[in-house]
Amino acid sequence: MNTKILIKTEFGLETLVKWELKELGYSDIEMHNGYVIIDGKIEDVATLNIFLRTAERVMVIVFEGLTRSFEELFQATKSVPWEEWIEYDGQIIVNGRTNKSQLRSVRSCQSITKKSIIERLKAKTTHSYFPETGKEYRIEFMIEKDYGRLLVDTTGDSLYKRGYRLDAGDAPLKETLAAGLVKLSYWNPNRLLLDPLCGSGTILIEAAMIARNIAPGLARTFLAENYTKTPKEIWKRARANAYKNINQRVRLNIKGTDIDPEVISIAKRNAIEAGVSDDIKFEVKDISQHTFETDYGVMITNAPYGQRVGSENEINHIYDTLFEIMRRQQTWSYYVLTADENIESALQRDADRKRKLYNGNIRVDYYQFYGPRPPKDYINDK
């Protein structure tokens, strides 16, 4: 039976999620700000949770339609066959949002939705008491311009929590955003990849996982793995497929440096947990100490921009050094994520492309400075 699935994203990454879905064989993708919708099957929730790199959450749509009053919301919720999803002792957690709708009180909508779910379960099961001591079930409502959706969360902890990052250090970059930065660049495994401000190594770890085709959700569990509606078999098949598709043969040249020995130690531990420690060389080094071993390479970095870390002197030093690096090595491509709108002036170069993204709640821009294409016969130097 066809099932509508809503996939939440960070703002700015919707197109990347669409690309990923197409690579996985999905079509008829409906785009919205902050989420995409596809037609699929209930079995697809396992594949989507395990394989998607730049998405935040996978949710099954169980109702959609007009919800202009509390009574309409109550009846819409009660029409859903919750008995197929929720066991009698399940912990029911309801969250949601409304926007430009007659129903404005999120708290009231939460209360009415949960009450209606309980009423449905009473009517369709032999139970009259629901202790909520069992499995957790997260239900969400989205009401936009009086059009409502009810969703079952199959993910649990957001998809950016891969499970490999034991310690994130200061001002961590979400794994989903880090993967997006790599996918938006022109890097491929035939070129050296460098992050001279690598921190806990997230960008480089995500790049190595992309190159090796290691599914990002392979090492973690998901909320719906114990749901009757999404049986264990579909998760076993999806994981088996993910293991089968790992590329063990690719040779990578990925390097990360940071001036702080402690964060380099963190990055090394994280790479071990992710299974890519042999693919990345981490070193304690100031950005000004870099020498270039290849004629064609890619630099991707999340530069400090003062709102979370980095003093004014540190930021000026980084920008001065980046300017010198880009002037000397013009055959490389450079990608810088920052909230500092003065970066183009500091680097004395206009970006070839600038993309608006969000790092947590901070609006940032991804500045892309392109170098020339390598020759067709170019081989990644080691």
> What Cα–Cα distance (Å) separates residue 327 from each residue in 43, 70, 304, 323, 349?
51, 62, 21, 6, 10
Amino acid identity of 191? R
DSSP per position, 54-106: SEEEEEEEEEEEE--SHHHHHHHHHTS-GGGT--TT-EEEEEEEEESSS---H
Cβ neighbours for 230, distance < 8 A, ≥ 6 positions apart: 42, 43, 45, 46, 154, 224
DSSP annotation of 349 reads S
pLDDT at site 316: 87
pLDDT at residue 360 in the model: 78
pLDDT, residue 308, reads 47
* Ordered per-residue pLDDT tens for the chain, 382 residues: 689 999 999 999 999 999 999 999 999 999 999 999 999 999 999 999 999 999 999 999 999 999 999 999 999 999 999 999 999 999 999 999 999 999 999 999 999 999 999 999 999 999 999 999 999 999 999 999 999 999 999 999 999 999 998 876 665 799 999 999 999 999 999 999 999 999 999 999 999 999 999 999 999 999 999 999 999 999 999 999 999 999 999 999 999 999 999 999 999 999 999 999 999 999 999 998 888 878 899 999 998 875 444 567 888 889 999 999 999 999 999 999 999 999 999 999 999 999 999 987 889 999 999 999 888 777 665 4
How far apart are alpha carbons 94 and 333 in whole angstroms?
Answer: 46
For residue 363, list its beta bridge partners.
358
CATH number of the domain located at residue range(s) 2-153 in this protein: 3.30.2130.30
Token pair listed for 84: 């197929």
Contact between 134 and 91 under an 8 Å Cβ cutoff? The reply is yes
Give the separation between CA 204 and CA 301, rounded to whole angstroms.
Answer: 9
Cα(7)–Cα(56) distance, rounded to whole angstroms? 7
The pLDDT value given to residue 169: 61
DSSP string, 179-243: HHHHHTS---TTSEEEETT-TT-HHHHHHHHHHHT--TTTTS--GGGG-TTS-HHHHHHHHHHHH
**Which residue's structure tokens are 């170098």?**
371
DSSP 131-175: ---S-EEEEEEEEETTEEEEEEE---S-TT--S--S---SSPPPH
Residue in this structure with the two tokens 């998607």, named with its chain if needed: 52
Q: Which pLDDT does position 168 carry in this prediction?
A: 64
Element (H, E) at 359: strand 353-359
Which residue ranges does the chain devote to CATH 3.30.2130.30? 2-153
pLDDT at 170: 62
DSSP reduced 3-state for 177: helix
- In CATH, the number for domain 175-217+249-369 is 3.40.50.150
**Residues 288 and 321: beta-carbon distance below 8 Å:** yes
CATH 3.40.50.150 residue ranges for the chain: 175-217+249-369
Please report, in angstroms and rounded to a whole number, the separation of the first and last CA atoms in the chain.
Answer: 51
The amino acid occupying position 176 is: T
Q: Who contacts 108 (Cβ-Cβ below 8 Å, separation ≥6)?
A: 70
pLDDT of residue 303: 87
Nearest-angstrom CA–CA distance, 87 and 227: 9
How far apart, in Å, are the Cα atoms of 164 and each of 42, 218, 256, 270? 27, 10, 17, 6
pTM: 0.94
